A and B are shown apart, each in its own frame.
Chain A
């Protein structure tokens, strides 16, 4: 079974503070993604990466940075957290190419910004 683990699973942050969400995968997958989900809504892509030391912007990158120091690890960084960034964040990994299409998601990280 593919494994993607996220930490922390839950975090409360103050407005203006720095938040780092970490993701680790043991699938040997090239692609990793960070999605944001707002209550009862869809998944929106923030950043993704298809190779270590390189990241790409997704649909909603503003206010977020990403880091891929190795194939296994992918972090999402909020330098100045804001109230509007309260959401559940999902990390996912996928094998190279479009034909599999199977994203393996982590359990999610619930972020509350006060």
Chain B
């Protein structure tokens, strides 16, 4: 079945440092979504990527979808304490349901 793997599982950074999490699928995806879950909270949708090679930005967050549509990344520039949480990617193949990665837990030391 479809597998979505995410690395790293944990990342500790100093405030102001950059952060990147990577998502890899065993199959070609029709789209990929990214979610953020604050500690004790629920996942909240951040963005969806659909096109091969697509790059989208939300303030300090940059999302990329690979040319082969099998991988994606989320990069945060100059992290802040408000970025703390777990970031999940979720991939979908045509006609199937979303499959979530294991998530990357980000902690930011002030």
Do they bind each other? no
Residue ranges of A at the interface with B (Cβ–Cβ < 8 Å): none
Residues of B with Cβ closer than 8 Å to A? none
